[in-house]
Amino acid sequence: MKRILITGGAGFIGSHLCERLLDQGHEVLCVDNFYTGARRNVAHLLENPNFELMRHDVTFPLFVEVDEIYNLACPASPIHYQYDPVQTTKTSVHGAINMLGLAKRRRAKIFQASTSEVYGDPTVHPQPEEYWGNVNPIGFRSCYDEGKRCAETLFFDYRRQHNLRIKVARIFNTYGPRMHPNDGRVVSNFVVQALKGEPITLYGEGMQTRSFCYVDDLVEGFIRFMATGDEVTGPINLGNPGEFTIRALAEKVVELTGSKSQIEYRPLPQDDPQQRQPDIAKAKAVLDWEPTIQLEAGLKKTVAYFDALLKSGAA
Ligand code: NAD
Ligand code: UDP
Ligand code: UDP
């Protein structure tokens, strides 16, 4: 049994990770400032004696005694990370420094939730880990993209300078229950709009693509990555290579919900990547991991979650 810190543990992915590690018999310390996360995401874990929830902002130092750290704290949807862009960069950069400092003092293994956004609007398709990316350093997405890139730099410098045991995962679009209903990400937006019978907001022509990974598959990838030997640092892409146009996603959501919602066109946001698909050869080879849940099956579970949430009046 290990004592494991999860920053951003009350968020969408973090809450699933907390659950999974508790199921494995570990002690979990969930640290979150509830910026985009919510107590309700972990309310069902509060009775578990191995679970502890702490309100804390990772841009400030944190002194706790743990064996492993999963650093997930950071708003992840464009609406939320662009709301206070300076705080977003601080969370990625100062948060990484503090968690790396903690890992250094404790000699703890540390995992970083990096992102496919480090590839920006990619000119190489699909994106392998060797690709350095095409990122605008001064645009609206930069606080997130560059913050996460700088965090990766810090992880590798702490490894080179202090011999830390690091695991850097580049996560591609992930979806599932407990996504924030109003965070503007495409899967939650479309599902909530379809369930409410509101127009489905398609940005641009809807011909841009994304590859969607169901959250349970992703969490399995995290755990396998953390269990690798110290020589395995990443970066490793984690995502589902099944690539869909956003228009096809909209049509699929309408079909699965039986909704009468119509598609409504909106302008494409600035710097919106045209294509995104992970090359997961490395994850397959090193972690023996690949996603098992296909889009339709994952969407059905997500629809069931949002349906219950809307009926409960919580969203
Ligand atoms: P989320 O917004 O649901 O979770 C992020 C959590 O971090 C929230 O609970 C939030 O309250 C917390 N947080 C934010 N700033 C904080 C701070 N300064 N101190 C403490 N806690 C803070 O998003 P998510 O989708 O669960 O994403 C989790 C991580 O995975 C993020 O680091 C994100 O960048 C990364 N990621 C997610 C995706 C995706 O598709 N969901 C893709 C790539 C990377
Ligand atoms: N830190 C922390 N918890 C710890 C140890 C360090 O939050 O248990 C913070 C510390 O406040 C510092 C940062 O992590 O700002 C980086 O620590 P490191 O030891 O690498 O650098 P230094 O303290 O020498 O600046
Ligand atoms: N998108 C859309 N309608 C929405 C929300 C998003 O058409 O209501 C598009 C968006 O322009 C982008 C894609 O869906 O091309 C994925 O957007 P999301 O914000 O989920 O993730 P990211 O752009 O960070 O991959």
Is residue 249 within 8 A of residue 186, CB to CB? The reply is yes
Quick check: is 292 in a domain?
Answer: yes
Q: How far does the centroid of ligand 3 lie from the alpha carbon of residue 168, in Å? A: 24
Q: What pLDDT does 270 receive?
A: 85
Q: Which two tokens stand for residue 239?
A: 């995502």
- In the three-class reduction of DSSP (H, G, I as helix; E, B as strand; rest coil), residue 70 is classed as strand
Would you say residue 190 lies in a domain? Answer: yes
Nearest to residue 171, comparing CAs of 81, 92, 236, 94? 236
Atom number of ligand 1 nearest to Cα 15: 26
203 has catalytic annotation: no
Q: What are the pLDDT digits (tens) for 206-262?
A: 999 999 999 999 999 999 999 999 999 999 999 999 999 999 999 999 999 999 999
Chain segment 152-194, per-residue pLDDT in tens: 999 999 999 999 999 999 999 999 999 999 889 999 999 999 9
Residue 26 inside a domain? The answer is yes
pLDDT band at residue 310, thresholds of 50, 70 and 90?
very high
CB of 62 sitting under 6 A from ligand 2: yes
Q: Which phi and psi (to 5°) does residue 151 adopt?
A: -60, -40
Q: 269: domain CATH number?
A: 3.40.50.720
115 lines ligand 3 (CB under 6 A): no
Q: Residue 57: nearest ligand to its CA?
A: 1
The answer to the question of residue 315 being in a domain is: no
> Is there a domain that residue 238 lies in?
yes
Catalytic residue among 144, 158, 175, 214, which?
A: 144
Dist. CA 53–CA 18, nearest whole Å: 10
Asked if residue 283 lies in contact with residue 221, where contact means CB atoms within 8 angstroms, the answer is: yes
Query: What total of structural domains would you count in the chain?
Result: 1
Domain around 160? 3-244+252-309
Euclidean distance between CA atoms 276 and 125, whole angstroms: 7
| Residue 286: per-residue pLDDT | 98
Structure tokens at 135: 């990122």
The model carries a pTM of 0.97
Ligand nearest to the CA of 7: 1
pLDDT at position 191 is 98
Contacts of 132 (CB under 8 A, 6+ apart): none
Q: How far is the CA of 246 from the centre of ligand 3 (A)?
A: 8
Output the pLDDT for position 176. 98
Q: In the prediction, which pLDDT does 251 show?
A: 96
* In-domain check, residue 314: no
Does any ligand 3 atom lie closer than 6 A to the CB of residue 78? yes
